[in-house]
Structure formats: structure tokens, C-alpha cells
Structure 1
Amino acid sequence: MSLTKPQAILFDLDGTLLDTAPDLGAALNKVLAAEERPLVTAEEYTPLASHGSAGLLKHAYGIDEFEQRKHELRTAFLQAYADSIANGTALYPGVIDLLEALKTHSIAVAIVTNKPSKLTEQLLPYYPQLHAIDVVVSGDTLAVAKPHPEPLLHAAQQLGVSAEACWYIGDAERDIQAGRAAGMRTILAAYGYIHSSEQPHLWQADHQIQTPLDLLSLL
């Protein structure tokens, strides 16, 4: 398929550029272990990683208990995560080559994540290959977060590029919703965190990629 070359590509972070599930799962299990509760396996927590602390804690504690103890549990989880934020996290295979190729093609790059800015700023320095990405919009950079389109529009504005000239890549339904609402071409990172109960074929992404480098075939 022949596509118009984008001026910028915006990326989600967790489940798209970085495989953060090992450290998110470890944080969840640290909270559970402190209460002598059964731990959660990687097979269970990995598909839920894009849903953040709320999704992981709801799975482990159930919705009712999570709602009753939301502040307490989130505080404990976020502290546990911050304490070991980059122990097992890694760039997805192909991300480094992809970013180099985009630079060669003079395509601007930004990150738009729902991760809180405090954690985003703590995590990114561990990965020098991401240091060249100057525009980073976190979940609390603005008053709204994805699936609202404003974080994506804000990133495009920071890059000096129109929304129509941007592609947005993410692994969650809210990523596709935000990209569509922003008027951007949307690409589903099918290699990311998608739970078996989800139906990504209904999200109406413009394209899917099975690996980061698959993106180059669209350029």
C-alpha cells in the first residue's frame, strides 16, 4: 500500500518502545507479597501491563477491593515500581534500528504515554537510544490523557507538525482511539500488551505491525 510519508511518528511507550511488563509485574508481586497474597505469573500480568497500575491491581485484588483501597494500593504499587523501575525493562528488538531509520528519513519522533511524568522521567535515562527524543508527553503533562486526543495534538504542536502529517503507534485501544480522534494515521503495535479478552480487530487501526521494524515497510 502506498502511503504518504509522515513528517512525524508518535509512539506510545509501554508495550510499544519498551517492554516494561517485567518491572510492572515485579512491583505488583512486591505489593502482594507484603500482604502474603498469591503472586501473579508473567503470563497473567504481561497482557495487562498497558492498563497500568489500575489494571494490574484490579486483576490481583478484584474490582471491589481495589475500589475500596484504591489510593493505598496505588501508592504502594507506584513506590515499589519506582524502587526497581529498570531492572527487567528492555527496548523491544528492532526499536534501535527503527529509530535510526526514521532519523535517516528525516522523520521527527515523539513519545506520548499515559505513564505519570515522574516515572517517565525516571525511566527514560536508562535507555540512551531514546535520549534523542526531545518531545515527551506523559499522562499528567496535560489535564487529560489518552484516549483524549489532546496529548497527541500537543506533541504534534511541540514538533511543529500538523496532526494530519503524523502517525501514532500504540498497543492499546485507547491509543487507537486517541490517534483517530486526533486525525492521525493509527498503527497498532500487535506485539505489545493485548489481553486475550480484547478484540483489537474492532479498534479500527489503519494498520497493524507485528514487530517494530515492520513499520519501515509502510514508509
Structure 2
Amino acid sequence: MTTSVSITCWRHGVQTMPDRAIFFDLDGTLVDTAPDLAQALNDLLGQYRLPKLPQSSIRPYISKGAQGLIQLAFANTPHSDVRSLSERLVAHYQRLDHRRARLFAPWPALLEQAPATVLGIVTNKPRALTERLLYVLELEKYFSVVICGDDHAEQKPNPLPLLKAAERLGIEPQHCLYIGDAKTDMIAAQAAGMRPVLASWGYFLPKQPEIERWPYQQALCEDKRATDYCVNWLNGLDCLSVE
């Protein structure tokens, strides 16, 4: 059962434009795709008769993209081979049905209550992979804008994709949250003038000392407090703490 939340301040009629928005990173922030990505990587390792890696070892490298996963699994691989192996990894991932992917705990309640006009996704994941994942999980209807890694010349940590997302919704960047789980997410949000918010359940090593130096303003836990924080933001309550 999902928790009921109330979002009311910007519901003044159908024609009223929202004045705040929330944008999400995809993998590791909005959706847990680690089981699928781990399977794809281990399937590739199996092709080379190499031992499989536990998901716990793979998970912290997911935010580094396909090339980061290849560098983890195929240590000392010549740079010229990384791209080829990355393409093979993506091919394995595309063959999966994504039925093991799931929304992280704070988001079902928020998506049920917040109109799509104030929610968006900005990811470095290619559009074809993003759209298929959203389709399988039946999430397309919840977001008015989805910016993918191959939509523009620049990707995060460049702020351009986030600025394009805010422009599409007609909302000033300073009135937007960006929730992500990687240093690149926090840098991009800060550079775009958005409020950087860290998903502390994301794909990184929890005890990495440098995380404290990432430029985020709030760290969220995977529970109802994260939902409430987002509701408060959309309702115009600038709560910087969820303690």
C-alpha cells in the first residue's frame, strides 16, 4: 500500500502553470536497474569464460555507464577495446525484459499525486533504452519531459540537459529540484542553478569520503521522508532538512 500525500498549492485550475518542478536522474535514483545491468554484464563475462561478479560489486559502478562497467569487469582492457565491449554490454541489456527493475520506495506515492506537468527525467542513458524501460514499467504518463543522453551535444555534468528540461516546462531553474545519485548529477544541478539533492540509496559506495564534498544541498533516505520532502518543495515549503 502506498502512502497518501497531498499536493495542493499549485492546483488552482487547469490553466494554472506550475511554478516549481522536480527532475530525476533515472538509474539509481528513480528506478533500480541494478539487477538487469548486473545480469547483462555477467552474461557478457560468460561469453569470455570469465567469472561472474556479485551485484554488490557491480552496483557502485553503474553510474559510470557502460564503459565504467566494462573497466570494472575487464581490468587492464586496452582503451580501443572498451568501446566494442560496451556495445556488446548494451546489446545484452537490450535483450532483457526489465521485469526486475522497480521504482525506489519514495516514488510511487509521489507519482500517484503529483501531476506530470511538474515532473521530468534527465538521464545520460540513451533514448532507446530509456523509452523501453519507461514503457515496461508504465511510467511514461507521469513525466512531461524526458531528456536523454543522446538528445543534445552535451551530457551531465554539463548543465545543458537540465536547462533544456526546465525550459520545456517553462519553469525557472532556481525553482527546480534535481535528484540524482552521482557526483555528475550534483555538479550539473548546481551549474544549472537548480537545487541538487542526493539520493543516498544510489549507485555509489556509501563510505566514499569524497561524497561529503559533492555539491548537494540535501541527502534523502529511501523512505517516506523523501516523499514528504518533494511534496513540501512542490507546495512551496523550502524545507532543507528531512530529519
Determine the structure 2 residue equivalent to 1:200.
Answer: 211
Q: Equivalent residue of 1:65, what SS?
A: coil
Q: 1:8 to 1:212 in 2, by over 3 A?
A: farther
What's the TM-score once normalised by structure 2's chain length? 0.82
* Superposed CA offset, 1:27-61 (max 9, x none): 10111000101111111011222222111111111
Q: Equivalent residue of 1:186, what SS?
A: strand
* In the alignment, structure 1 residue 117 sits paired with structure 2 residue 127: yes
Equivalent residues of 2:107, 2:227 under 8 A apart: no
1:167 deviates by 0.7
Structure with the higher fraction of residues in helix conformation: 1
* Superposed CA offset, 1:164-197 (max 9, x none): 1111000000000000000001100001111244
Of 153, 170, 174, 2:180 maps to 170
Q: 1:148 to 1:91 in 2, by over 3 A?
A: same
Q: Which amino acid aligns with 1:215?
A: A
1:136 deviates by 0.2
User: In 2, Cα distance between the equivalents of 1:76 and 1:121?
Assistant: 20
Q: Which amino acid aligns with 2:176?
A: C
What's the TM-score once normalised by structure 1's chain length? 0.90
Q: Percent identity?
A: 36
Determine the structure 1 residue equivalent to 2:114.
Answer: 102
Of 102, 105, 108, 1:93 maps to 105
* In the alignment, structure 1 residue 78 sits paired with structure 2 residue 90: yes
Name structure 2 gaps, 5 residues minimum: 1-9, 11-18, 233-243
Determine the structure 1 residue equivalent to 2:55.
Answer: 42
Q: Equivalent residue of 2:114, what SS?
A: helix
Determine the structure 1 residue equivalent to 2:199.
Answer: 189
Determine the structure 1 residue equivalent to 2:225.
Answer: 214
Q: Point out the structure with max Rg over C-alpha.
A: 2
* In the alignment, structure 1 residue 16 sits paired with structure 2 residue 47: no
Of 153, 171, 175, 1:161 maps to 171
User: In 2, Cα distance between the equivalents of 1:102 and 1:52?
Assistant: 30
Name structure 1 gaps, 5 residues minimum: none
Equivalent residues of 1:190, 1:208 under 8 A apart: yes
Of 39, 42, 45, 1:32 maps to 45
User: In 2, Cα distance between the equivalents of 1:8 and 1:95?
Assistant: 15
Q: Equivalent residue of 2:197, what SS?
A: strand
* Superposed CA offset, 1:71-92 (max 9, x none): 2201110000000050321111
1:66 deviates by 5.1
Q: 1:66 to 1:187 in 2, by over 3 A?
A: farther
Q: Which amino acid aligns with 1:133?
A: F
CA RMSD of aligned residues (A): 1.8
Q: Which amino acid aligns with 1:17?
A: L
Q: 1:217 to 1:90 in 2, by over 3 A?
A: closer
